[in-house]
Amino acid sequence: MRKNRDDLAKKYIKEIKSADVWSVFKIIADFVKGFDELGELGPTVTMFGSSKVDSSSEYYKKAQELSSILAQRGFNIMTGGGPGVMEAANRGAFEYKNVESIGLNIDLPFEQIPNKFTTTELSFDYFFSRKVMLVKYSIAYVIFPGGYGTLDELFEALTLIQTKKITGVKVFMIGVSYYKPLFKFIENKLYKNGMITQEDFEQIRLTDDLEQVVEEIEASVLNQIKILQECGLGDTQYSKSLIEFFKDKNIDNKEAR
């Protein structure tokens, strides 16, 4: 096992540091695979969180519960495909046959076993291509407690929203007791020192109210449709899937808060 970890780590060092032109094709392959498999997904919510919690954890249970509610209402669920919170989220969606439970795994120098609750599973060589796929096709990001990887994904999402690379997407942080110190740091240090704007700060919703999360995600579908139409993308397959979803669910016609 140690040898396998070392071999995989050496592989990444060689690919990144050698500037081998063939690595470009492997990177392109990651993107092509993602675009090909995920390009026609309907409304999808990406859920992030620690791989280290087990099924007895309150966060595992909350992730499974939220995923189940969203899937029941027709949302696909996407995760990093591993254990812990990712497994819980895929597990909650797996029982609903009309939606996809998607896992985007990655080869790591330490073991990450794909969970068994996915209907669509892809494996990536590179973190950055995987992160693009995790955010590109989603209308909301739900961040459960986690470590460096989860925080990286949180701030990546917030940066993309701040710089208008993606628009109309909600970011929810679940776990008030866990994330409150970080939330306060963002408010008291970043916002109050002018490092981010009020609009940037208001992109984050810190809550443990799962029903509120679901309601806000549903309400944001209309906003997504409007943005696509304003950008001349109203005739795309993705836009049409959102319109059909909106009509079928009889969602309240108010703007997302």
Write the DSSP assignment of 35-65 as a string of letters: HHHHTT--SEEEEE--SS--TTSHHHHHHHH
pLDDT tens across 7-28, in order?
Answer: 555 655 555 555 566 677 777 7
Entry pTM:
0.84
pLDDT band at 173 (very low <50, low <70, confident <90, very high): very high
Q: Look at residue 228 and tell me whether its pLDDT is greater than 90.
A: no
Please tell me which residue, 101 or 106, carries the higher pLDDT value. Answer: 101
Do the beta carbons of residue 138 and residue 110 sit within 8 Å?
Answer: no
Sheet with strand 44-48: strands edge to edge: 120-124, 101-106, 76-79, 44-48, 140-143, 170-174, 204-207
- In order of 21, 25, 134, 138, the CA distances from 166 in angstroms are 30, 26, 13, 10
pLDDT tens across 116-134, in order?
Answer: 999 999 888 777 888 888 8
